[in-house]
Structure 1
Amino acid sequence: MTTDFSAGPQTTQLWNRVRPILEQIEALPFLGQLADGSLDVKSFTNYIIQDGIYLTGYAKAMSFLAAGANDRDESRFWAGSAAEAITVEEEMHGELLADSRLAAVHEELISSGSGFQASPTTLGYVSFLVATAASRSYGEGVAGVLPCFWVYAHMGKVLVERAGQMSADHPYRTWVQTYDSPEFDESTRKAVQLLEQELENAPTEVAARMRDTFEQACVYELHFWASAHALQDWDAAVLVSQS
């Protein structure tokens, strides 16, 4: 399934470039199990915790974009998106603790010491976005934060289609439905339009870096879902045992 948020030839070409990554994301067991309701509660809770940590850093990256934008409307858009990311994180945490099943697993993860620690992938992704937005060109910063908009909006449509008519007792019904939001779709279209403009006006070398940044962030999107499902932590023994 394809959701076309492209705003012109530049972003159409870019979306086609990352299609192999999108196909890998769509094939992840995490998303299939989320749609059919079979996803392990611990994996889901870990994903929500990591997503909350990620959104805090994501908001910082967009705050840098708000400060770096020359256009007032663009600055307002990024500032508003940063505020919304924090709001979403707080709402997720509240809903997590309101569900007794998730709250119990959440407490277990906190007690184990891994509750609010960023996984290696989460830390890497956040660090990449913040560093890009803070120290690279404005266009590269936009390219970095866009996959979280675009890939998330696309996967929302995929998830809702896969889940079909969910029963009232589907454990992740509310979460699956939040993936498909008209308001978020509109924000995604705005963000894609901004990148289209930046790519159109950027010198060749800068535009190439923007495309590379976008692709790298898409790879991080893939790894973020996969690592949360696998309960990735900082235990080096996992790496040593595979060497």
Structure 2
Amino acid sequence: MTVTFTAGPLTTQLWDRVGPIVKQIEELPFLAQLADGSLDPKAFVNYISQDSLYLNGYAKAMSFLAAKTVDRDESRFWAGSAAEAITVEEEMHAELLADARLASALEELTAEGSRFKASPTTLGYVSFLVANAASRSYGEGVASVLPCFWVYAHMGKVLVDRAGQMADDHPYRTWVQTYDSPDFDESTRHAVQILEQELAKAPSEEAARMRAAFEQACVYELHFWASAHAMQNWDVSVFLPQEVTV
């Protein structure tokens, strides 16, 4: 069953606008392998390690929104979401990384130093979110952080549908089920409703910037999953000509 999180005509148009990006996310091999449990443990540990780094910046961005809005309910929502991004996610990551099947992958990444360094995509995404939340309008900040709610909530439904009845020993069962939860859905709907309201009252030029920020963040969502699967790092050799041997 298709679940929609739109809150009115403006967010409906916005979700339709990013439909091609969402479709690309749905088709990522990372997510297909995550659903069927075949994903390389090292790629998954790399993903959740990058996610932990990302969430620190994401929480900071929402804290800026909590301070910027004049609406007390919205301020409480963003502040609560910032706190939850740190506590709930860290608990889930700790539980996943305690799985014996992921322990060797974690040890390998830690030895390489990859676990504690943000990839170029992670750093870019976090910088984009914090800069917009801190220095742009409240509406642009909301539009920037919303895809992390909305795309994840959507993909939670997609993943659960693909995974079907996951066995208790499915290595990624906890992660998949966490993002398909009534509480997360409710938070997503609340965030979408805030954006609908901000779009409705924004002057046309600001509304255009909000739509552009939302679309850019959706592209970052696509790149975030893809770059984690590719084990993206700061190695410059990928940009240099390769020697040809005969």
**Normalising by the residue count of structure 1, what TM-score does the alignment of the two structures yield?**
0.97
Quote the Cα distance in structure 2 between the aligned partners of 1:239 and 1:224. Answer: 20
User: In the alignment, is the contact (CA less than 8 A) between 1:151 and 1:218 conserved in 2?
Assistant: yes
Q: 1:92-111 CA distances to partner (integer Å, 9 max, x unpaired)?
A: 33213321221221121111
1:49 aligns with 49
How do residues 3-82 of structure 1 correspond to structure 2 at under 5 angstroms? 3-82=3-82
Q: Does 2:123 correspond to 1:123?
A: yes
Tell me the CA shift for residue 115 of structure 1.
Answer: 1.4
RMSD over aligned CA atoms reads 1.2
Question: What secondary structure, in the 3-state scheme, does the structure 2 residue paired with 1:38 have?
Answer: coil
2:89 aligns with 89
Bigger mean CA offset, 18-27 vs 172-181: 172-181
Tell me the CA shift for residue 241 of structure 1.
Answer: 4.3
The count of corresponding residues between Structure 1 and Structure 2 is 242
Question: Could you tell me which amino acid in structure 2 is paired with residue 56 of structure 1?
Answer: N
Tell me the CA shift for residue 2 of structure 1.
Answer: 4.3
Question: Could you tell me which amino acid in structure 1 is paired with residue 83 of structure 2?
Answer: A
Question: Could you tell me which amino acid in structure 1 is paired with residue 70 of structure 2?
Answer: N
1:220 aligns with 220
1:104 aligns with 104
User: In the alignment, is the contact (CA less than 8 A) between 2:45 and 2:97 conserved in 1?
Assistant: no
Quote the Cα distance in structure 1 between the aligned partners of 2:213 and 2:102. Answer: 35
1:136 aligns with 136
Question: Could you tell me which amino acid in structure 2 is paired with residue 124 of structure 1?
Answer: G
Q: 1:104-127 CA distances to partner (integer Å, 9 max, x unpaired)?
A: 211211111111100000000000
Quote the Cα distance in structure 1 between the aligned partners of 2:152 and 2:166. Answer: 20
Question: Could you tell me which amino acid in structure 2 is paired with residue 54 of structure 1?
Answer: Y
- Name structure 1 gaps, 5 residues minimum: none
Tell me the CA shift for residue 154 of structure 1.
Answer: 0.3
Tell me the CA shift for residue 232 of structure 1.
Answer: 0.3
Q: 1:18-41 CA distances to partner (integer Å, 9 max, x unpaired)?
A: 000000000000000000111000
Quote the Cα distance in structure 2 between the aligned partners of 1:54 and 1:48. Answer: 9
1:177 aligns with 177
Question: Could you tell me which amino acid in structure 1 is paired with residue 103 of structure 2?
Answer: A
Quote the Cα distance in structure 2 between the aligned partners of 1:102 and 1:170. Answer: 12
Quote the Cα distance in structure 1 between the aligned partners of 2:31 and 2:157. Answer: 12
- Name structure 2 gaps, 5 residues minimum: none
User: In the alignment, is the contact (CA less than 8 A) between 1:50 and 1:118 conserved in 2?
Assistant: yes
Quote the Cα distance in structure 2 between the aligned partners of 1:132 and 1:176. Answer: 29
Quote the Cα distance in structure 2 between the aligned partners of 1:24 and 1:181. Answer: 23
Q: 1:33-63 CA distances to partner (integer Å, 9 max, x unpaired)?
A: 0001110000000001000111110000000
- Residues 241 and 148 (structure 1 numbering): CA distance in 2 closer, same or farther, change over 3 Å? farther
Identity %: 79
Quote the Cα distance in structure 2 between the aligned partners of 1:2 and 1:232. Answer: 33
How do residues 153-232 of structure 1 correspond to structure 2 at under 5 angstroms? 153-232=153-232
